[in-house]
Amino acid sequence: MLRRRSFRAALLSNVLNGWTVYGVRVALVPLYVIEELSQPSTWSGFALTAFAVGTAAALPIGGRWSDRSGRRPAAAAGSAVVAVTALWLGFATTLTGLVAAALLSGVGTGLMSPAVNASVGDLVTRRDRDADGGPALAGFQMVGDLGAVVGPVVAGLVVEWSGYAAGFATVSVIATVSLVARLTAPETWSR
């Protein structure tokens, strides 16, 4: 499976998902609210809720889009939205700006996730594949977990050295790499 560019693109997308959703958002946003915006920690709950609402609203849209138009457009659009909104998060100077960026970032995740997961399903169920689906799915899950563990540590170090904008930019860099990989990989979906 690692020989397939589409699978490698899905792996990058899942690193991004783990790094962003389970790592950096939860680790940096509460600290950003307290330290940079000088607001009570309860406001971080509003921002994290906005992420979740954006994701929940976009998941069905991303799923339908990937089933109708292919996996690549929805995954690429989601990665692009995450890349842009990650930078926006790092430069937000108001709670309104932070919550708006969080909501749209959640939308990006909601567009990307169904398409990426479906593309892996497409690959492991193809008749011409030369690998078992179990190890491929396990590897896919493990890279997401790796992103969730490494993301907050690396982003936290970057914040200490260069500030929050640079810490959130780590998400943008990974999202951009994921976007390029997705755009250059073959489509996995067919009618």
Contact predicate 178/12, CB 8 Å = yes
Percent of the chain surpassing pLDDT 90:
81
Q: What is the pTM of this model?
A: 0.91
pLDDT tens digits along 143-181: 999 999 999 999 999 999 999 999 999 999 999 999 999
pLDDT value for 29: 93
pLDDT value for 128: 64
What lies within 8 Å, CB to CB, of 169 at 6+ separation is 86, 87, 90, 158
pLDDT value for 163: 94
pLDDT value for 69: 94
What's phi and psi for 152, nearest 5 deg? -65, -30
- DSSP letter for 128, please: T
pLDDT value for 117: 94
> Within the chain, which residues score under 70 in pLDDT?
127-131, 191
pLDDT value for 74: 96
Domains in the chain: ranges and CATH = 5-184 (1.20.1250.20)
